[in-house]
Each structure stands twice: as structure tokens, then as C-alpha cells.
């Protein structure tokens, strides 16, 4: 699965929110999207998975124009995990995950053995099989997020779009979510809030600022103290961590930064 976005633009009413965005995600890559709050990350991802319709531009997935696919075909190709994971009715965990199978089925077709197998397999993959019969609404935020990840696993799409999938999760769940996704070995485009997480998991990173892509490259290229100061206005120090081999960022509070300047 390869995604290519060309010159995508979108406005909410009069306000141009993403501007002339071009990016690509190669087969098997884990690509991160970072940038300050309000820079347009969610808007861009929604335009790619058709929750919004771009005003201009192209989105092509393995040679097929996403913008002209019907929703069922799109759901076979792209799994999406948004920031809000509330459901309108009280479903069980198992039912939520089984919904991932819908794009593979005809209207009103009941779940076959393979659907049941995939639902269970997905729940096991995220360590939630023991909660299959629980009410989804009764789960904690971290548990809900794991169920939603299980749903996209059951969906068996080859491309995954994630919008800050670990927001509000404690560190162990944050790591689990990214580890689960990594283990799937599929192609991923994910908005990521935490720069150290982005450094740990991304092959490449795009930086969005005020609706435009201002930088892109490997985490080492993008996550430098100069760039981070420019993008977020905060001082930091970076090292290549001896164990992970990845960039590790330490943010410097004003007082400490001032001391380093003496
Ligand atoms: P990010 O995900 O990077 O925090 P968003 O894509 O959510 O940024 O928002 C980008 C900009 O678009 C912000 O200025 C935000 O206020 C605005 N925006 C987001 N959603 C809507 C909406 N439904 N209607 C109007 N403006 C919106
Ligand atoms: Mg967002």
C-alpha cells in the first residue's frame, strides 16, 4: 500500500485550514505527522479518509483515486482511528470489534466463522479477549483505545490512519498501542502528539505548521533542537539514545535553559 497526496487544500468555510499539502507514505512505512495544536493534522487526516472532502488536490492509494472510491471500498483499504472513540449505543466489546468486518460483508450478511475468528484474533492481539462480553461504554479510556485498535485489526485494511491514538493514555498503554500497530507490519500515517514517541516509532516525519508542511525527513533530521524551537517555541536538548539508537529529546524549562547560557 502506498499513499500519495498531491496539493491538497481544504477550508472550513472561508478559512483555509490546510494549504497545498503534498506527502507520500511508502509501502510498510510508519510515517508521523507532528505540529502544534491547531496546525491542521486532524483536518488533513479527515480529508484523506474522506470524513471531509478536499477543495483541491489528489489522494491516491496504490494507483487508485481515494476521492472517487465508495465508502465500502475505502473501508477495505483504509482503517482509521480518530481521537474520539465514543459510540452512540451501548455495544459489547466484541460487537464493536466485529463492526470492523462490515466492509467485507454484504448488507445483513451474518458473521461467518472467519469473521468470528478475526474478531477474536484481534481482541487477543490487544489483550482484550477476556473482556469480549463487557459493555464498551464501561471501559476505561485505555481499554477503549485498545478495542478500537482491535476493530481496525479485524478490518484487515492494509493502510492505517491514526489521529493521536494515544492521547489521554498512560505510558504503558501508549507504548502498547504503538507496539500493537508496529507488529501488524502495515503502512501507517499517524498524527503523534509526543515527540519522543514519534522519534521511537516513525520511519519518517512530516511537520505541519499553520496548515502547511514546513519540514519532513527522518526523526534525526526533523527533531533537532533548532527545528523544535522553531516549531513549538521551546528549548530542548537531543541525543541519540545508546540503547534505542533513536533521537531522545529532553525539554529544558526556562530556568534551566537560562543556566546553560551563562
Ligand atoms: P490539529 O489536529 O493539528 O490540532 P485541527 O485540524 O483540529 O488541528 O484544526 C486546524 C484548524 O481548523 C484549527 O484552527 C481549528 O480551530 C480549525 N477547525 C477544526 N475543526 C473545525 C470545524 N469543524 N469547523 C471550523 N474550524 C475547525
Ligand atoms: Mg488533532
Domain covering 3-223 in this structure, CATH number: 3.40.50.300
Domain boundaries, the chain: 3-223, 228-262
* Nearest protein CA to atom 19 of ligand 1, as residue: 43
- The distance from CA 238 to its chain's CA centroid, rounded to whole angstroms, is 24
pLDDT given at position 126:
87
pLDDT given at position 170:
83
Ligand in closest contact with the CA of 37: 1
* Nearest protein CA to atom 7 of ligand 1, as residue: 42
Percent of the chain at pLDDT exceeding 70:
100
pLDDT given at position 41:
97
How remote is the CA of residue 46 from the centroid of ligand 2, in Å? 10
Comparing 59-63, 147-151, 164-168, which segment has the lowest mean pLDDT?
A: 164-168
Residue 191: which of 162, 153, 166 has the closest Cα?
162
Nearest-angstrom CA–CA distance, 18 and 91: 35
| Residues with C-beta less than 6 Å from any ligand 1 atom | 12, 17, 35, 37-43
CA atoms within 13 A on the CB side of 13: 1
* Nearest protein CA to atom 5 of ligand 1, as residue: 40
Q: 22 pLDDT exceeds 90? A: yes
Q: Choose one of 10, 38, 165 to mutate for the ligand 1 pocket test, by most ligand atoms within 8 angstroms of C-beta.
A: 38
Full-model pTM: 0.93
Amino acid at each position: 500500500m502506498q499513499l500519495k497526496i498531491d496539493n491538497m487544500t481544504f477550508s472550513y468555510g472561508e478559512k483555509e485550514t490546510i494549504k497545498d499539502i503534498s506527502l507520500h507514505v511508502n509501502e510498510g512505512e510508519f510515517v508521523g505527522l507532528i505540529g502544534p495544536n491547531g496546525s491542521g493534522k486532524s483536518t488533513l487526516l479527515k480529508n484523506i479518509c474522506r470524513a471531509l472532502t478536499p477543495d483541491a488536490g489528489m489522494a491516491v492509494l496504490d494507483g487508485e483515486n481515494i476521492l472517487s472510491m465508495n465508502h465500502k471500498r475505502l473501508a477495505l483499504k483504509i482503517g482509521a482511528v480518530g481521537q474520539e472513540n465514543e459510540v452512540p449505543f451501548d455495544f459489547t466489546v466484541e460487537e464493536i470489534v466485529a463492526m470492523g468486518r462490515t466492509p467485507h460483508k454484504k448488507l445483513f450478511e451474518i458473521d461467518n466463522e472467519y469473521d468470528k475468528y478475526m474478531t477474536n484474533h484481534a481482541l487477543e492481539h490487544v489483550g482484550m479477549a477476556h473482556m469480549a462480553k463487557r459493555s464498551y461504554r464501561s471501559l476505561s479510556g485505555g481499554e477503549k483505545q485498545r478495542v478500537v485498535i482491535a476493530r481496525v485489526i479485524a478490518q484487515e485494511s492494509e493502510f492505517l490512519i491514526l489521529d493521536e491514538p494515544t492521547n489521554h493514555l498512560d505510558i504503558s498503554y501508549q507504548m502498547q498501542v504503538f507496539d500493537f500497530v508496529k507488529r501488524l507490519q502495515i503502512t501507517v500515517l499517524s498524527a503523534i502528539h509526543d515527540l519522543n514517541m514519534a522519534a521511537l516509532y516513525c520511519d519518517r516525519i512530516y511537520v505541519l505548521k499553520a496548515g502547511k508542511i514546513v519540514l519532513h525527513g527522518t526523526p534525526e533530521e526533523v527533531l533537532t533542537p533548532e527545528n523544535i524551537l522553531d516549531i513549538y517555541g521551546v528549548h530542548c536538548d537531543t541525543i541519540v539514545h545508546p540503547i534505542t539508537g533513536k533521537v531522545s529529546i529532553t525539554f529544558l524549562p526556562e530556568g534551566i535553559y537560562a543556566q546553560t547560557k551563562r
